[in-house]
Amino acid sequence: MGNPSGFNCSSSALISTTAPLTAREAVYPASIAADVNAERLKPFFTKEDDFFRVRKEIRDSVVFSVQDLIRDPPFRRGLSAAGPYE
């Protein structure tokens, strides 16, 4: 699966193991239309029943995961004395 925008975003949650799954759904109540103008809703959201969902191509560029920062710190393999990602 390609990423034509070249944009990637990673996120992890320590709050609960279900938080990333909920975030991945990217569902917002229809009431966001009162705060988000149509110029923003149309390119980034689709209307589904009584809610808005972030468009699939945007959701596909975001990675949500559960990560234990004690056992698996981010970027641990990419750091060295010379700097990151030598």
Q: Looking at the whole model, is its pTM more than 0.85?
A: no
Q: What is the DSSP letter of 75?
A: T
Q: Is position 82 within any domain?
A: no
Cα–Cα distance measured from residue 44 to residue 28, given in angstroms and rounded to the nearest whole number: 12
**Cβ(62)–Cβ(25) under 8 Å?**
no
Among all chains, which residue has been given the structure tokens 């229809």? Answer: 30
Domain presence at residue 48:
yes
Asked whether residue 38 is assigned to any structural domain, the reply reads yes
3 found inside a domain: no
The count of structural domains within the chain is 1
| pLDDT at position 81 | 47
Instruction: Divide the 86 residues of the chain into consecutive groups of 10 and give the mean pLDDT of each group.
Output: 54 65 88 94 94 92 72 56 44
φ/ψ of 13, rounded to 5, equals -125, 135
**Host domain of residue 51:** 9-66
